[in-house]
Amino acid sequence: MDLAYLRAHPQHLPTFLTHQRLRETPVSGGHVCTASRLTLDDGSSVFAKTWPSGTAPEGFFATEAAGLRWLADAGSVPVPEVLVALPDMLAMEWIEPGEPSPEAAERLGRDLAGTHRAGADTFGADRPGFIGPLPLDNTPSAGPWGAWFAERRLLPYLRSSADRGALSVDDVAAVERIINTIERYGGSEPPARTHGDLWSGNVLWAADGRARLIDPAAHGGHRETDLAALALFGGAPHLDRILAAYQEAYPLADGWRQRVPLHQLHLLLVHTASFGAAYSGAVRTAADAIRPG
């Protein structure tokens, strides 16, 4: 099997793996999937992801593949090419990793601005999504953004977090205040073409000097949400250069810095829903920092 054959016959990849016809090397695949580097007969490599045990949730890999292709269609921020999208496997071109540089960060800022500018028909998407292993409600909405964000991005993960005891009664009340008064916090814009889960771990710094985006939860959203996510969990390398280049290419609305905690709240609630109370302090800090504007 070489790359040309794989492109023509993607459905055959599991058979070649089952019969050990390809060299398979385990690599890091994040918190959800098992990942490996496959070496083909022509010497080229492929990055493959599989569900670690049992059957993947219905549509899991198809949704990721569709999101990558949708982001690629904007013709701006680069993503790995999807080669195989099967119910229990996703295979993409292998991107040789490299070190982040200020120049690559600036290029990422400009590229991301171009992707956001490409826009989306609505907030949400035409299919249900996933955020890590959790379901993501992408029910489309014409807006306004705030009501959609509160209903589809905050409330479901607040409920899940409360149900598992990851947030205190006071923490839940603090987030509910934001949800119930969402229209006060500004930042209304038309739908942007967003990655949807853009923390720094989903930026792949490549050896060719150009960063790629991976593992999207792609949908029509608010562009400030992607930028706010880049500052979470230690932040992306050279974040100041990313933001400065983005601002030059596609200036943000006044007050965007004050809205960062609001946009971060979604991913923080996803973490309390997924991993428990270890992230409750970050949720409460973000909720308390949100101000009208």
Question: For the residues 27-52, what does the mean pLDDT come to?
Answer: 88
Does position 147 have pLDDT exceeding 90, yes or no?
Answer: yes
Which two tokens mark 15?
A: 């058979």
- For 222-241, what is each residue's pLDDT tens digit? 999 999 999 999 999 999 99
Whether 4 shows a pLDDT value over 90: the answer reads no
- Per-residue pLDDT at 76: 98
- pLDDT of res. 53: 79
Q: Are the C-beta atoms of 70 and 218 separated by less than 8 Å?
A: yes
Rounded-to-integer distance, Cα 271 and Cα 136, Å: 13
Model confidence band, residue 31 (pLDDT cutoffs 50, 70, 90):
confident
Average pLDDT over residues 59-83: 97
Report the alpha-carbon distance of residue 111 to residue 241 in Å, rounded.
13
For residue 136, CA distances in Å to 130, 190, 254, 290 come to: 5, 20, 29, 23
Q: Give the pLDDT confidence score for residue 28 in this predicted structure.
A: 81
Is residue 84 helix, strand or coil? Answer: strand
Q: Locate tokens 């899991």: which residue?
A: 60
Q: Name the token pair of 183.
A: 């229209």
Question: What is the DSSP track for 162-185?
Answer: HHTT-S-HHHHHHHHHHHHTGGGG
Quote the pLDDT of residue 52.
86
Q: Where are the beta strands (DSSP E) in 75-226?
A: 82-86, 89-93, 129-131, 134-136, 192-194, 203-204, 212-213, 219-221
Rg (CA), the chain: 19
High-pLDDT (> 70) share of the chain, %: 99
pLDDT of residue 14: 86
Distance CA 14, CA 12 (A): 6
Q: Which two tokens stand for residue 241?
A: 């250069």
Tell me what pLDDT residue 267 has. 98
Length of the chain in terms of residues written: 293
| Phi-psi map region of 119: left, alpha, beta (phi>0 left; psi -120 to 50 alpha) | left
| 86 φ/ψ angles, rounded to the nearest 5 degrees | -120, 165
Q: Give residue-wise pLDDT tens across range 243-288.
A: 999 999 999 999 999 999 999 999 999 999 999 999 999 999 999 9
The phi, psi pair for 139, rounded to 5°, reads: -50, 120
Domains in the chain, please, with CATH?
A: 3-93 (3.30.200.20), 102-289 (3.90.1200.10)
pLDDT at residue number 214:
96
**What is the per-residue pLDDT across 91-139, written as a single tens digit (0 to 9) for each?**
999 999 999 999 999 999 999 999 999 999 999 999 999 998 899 999 9
Q: What percent of the chain has pLDDT over 90?
A: 81
On whether the CB atoms of residues 93 and 83 are closer than 8 A, the answer is: yes
Least confident of 2-6, 93-97, 195-199, 213-217: 2-6
- pLDDT tens digits, 5-20: 888 898 989 888 877 7
Across the chain, what does the average pLDDT equal?
Answer: 94
Q: CB under 8 Å to 40, separation ≥6 — which residues?
A: 1, 2, 3, 6, 22, 46
